[in-house]
Amino acid sequence: MDLITRIKTLSNEVFPRLVEIRRDLHKHPELSFNEFRTSDKVKNFLSKEGIPFKDGIAGTGITADITGFSSDGSTIGLRADMDALPIHELSDKPYCSVNNGIMHACGHDFHTSSLMGTAWIVNHLREYFSGTIRFIFQPAEEKLPGGAKSMIAEGVLKNPDISSILGQHVTPFLETGKVGIRSGNYMASTDEIYLEVIGKGGHGAQPHLCEDPIALSAQIITALQQIVSRKADPRIPSVLTFGKISGNGATNIIPDSVFIEGTFRTFDENWRKKAHFLIRNIISGICESSGFGFKLDIKLGYPVLKNDPALSSNIRTRIQEYVGFENTIDLELWMAAEDFAWYTHEIPGCFYRIGTGNEAKKTTYGLHTPSFDVDENALQLSSGLMAWLALNQLNKR
């Protein structure tokens, strides 16, 4: 039996168990850095399979190493995230979240279950490879600065040094059975903007006695849009969005201050820094020239996610071998962000997407929505595919 057939046979065998695990994790979601039950679930699984692990990394993070017939060779990392989102789930399925206001709306329950399945498969294939595969169960992808950064700081890529790393993410916009990949820049950097515009409140009928922060905030937001439309190189995708404005006034009350929250995203780290400078300059110029105060906090988020070209080329070929050329999809740039990006700034990495969309099963709702769900049949593909990619990456020397 050749390796690819052996892997698919094992993925079929472990599949029912992965569905059970995924539903349990989905039913009991936990927020970033609080994945205690989830972490225990992973550790119990690894212990039962006799796979050694280290826990307590970045709080709830876990790593597990599986070495082949020889430790001589490179080490590759495989990563899954474990945290959920503060979203109230809208579902009547038996595995709907029992934790009010918390939901696996981004598929991290799928990612964790899938990586557990990959570990199970690889553990049955030690005679097929040399070197080591490190399984990284990571907390807090959804919360800045991201669990990846913390795990890297605690040495997750060392002892032995990891030569490359793979990650996967579900997507409802690809049909189950399809896999998407892109070489080079794939996902944007993301930064959070928190601004308070400070004026002088008063009666709405006496604006001449006030310093209206609402009117000035409108001016600031309009002016800041020119950063993308007139200051950015049009060849560099950029997004500046303000999604929250809070004035706490009323129809006849001008508030003392206005709070504004937004995000800036792009694909160029140098332009990212320059844009931060322009944001500060425009805000300070408008506020100071009008006699208003302000407080600005730009929280640095995840960097640009870069899929290493050489690694991605090899991974694309292996994906085609596993799912077929017709089911291997070229991905477009995506303005969303992922803390897997931190790994790609340390070592060669490749982040690809697993299709989980199925109209009949109603799994085409978008990520981060209260009706999001996955086609669990994709677990059979994802667990085996990642094992196939990892073993080929180690054996390609």
Q: Give catalytic residue positions.
A: 83, 141
* Lookup: tokens for 117: 């399945």
The number of beta carbons lying within 10 Å of the beta carbon of residue 72 is: 9
DSSP 8-class letter at 369: S
CB 277 within 8 A of CB 227: no
- Cα distances from 81 to residues 15, 90, 111, in angstroms, run 19, 23, 6
CB 43 within 8 A of CB 128: no
Distance of alpha carbon 361 from alpha carbon 115, whole angstroms: 23
Q: Which residues, at least 6 apart from 190, have a Cβ–Cβ distance to it below 8 Å? A: 263, 264, 265, 301, 302, 336, 337
Q: What are phi and psi of 235, to 5 degrees?
A: -85, -5
Minimal CA–CA distance to 379: which of 81, 100, 22? 22
Distance of alpha carbon 253 from alpha carbon 247, whole angstroms: 10
Distance of alpha carbon 27 from alpha carbon 98, whole angstroms: 6
**Bridge partners, residue 139, by sequence:** none
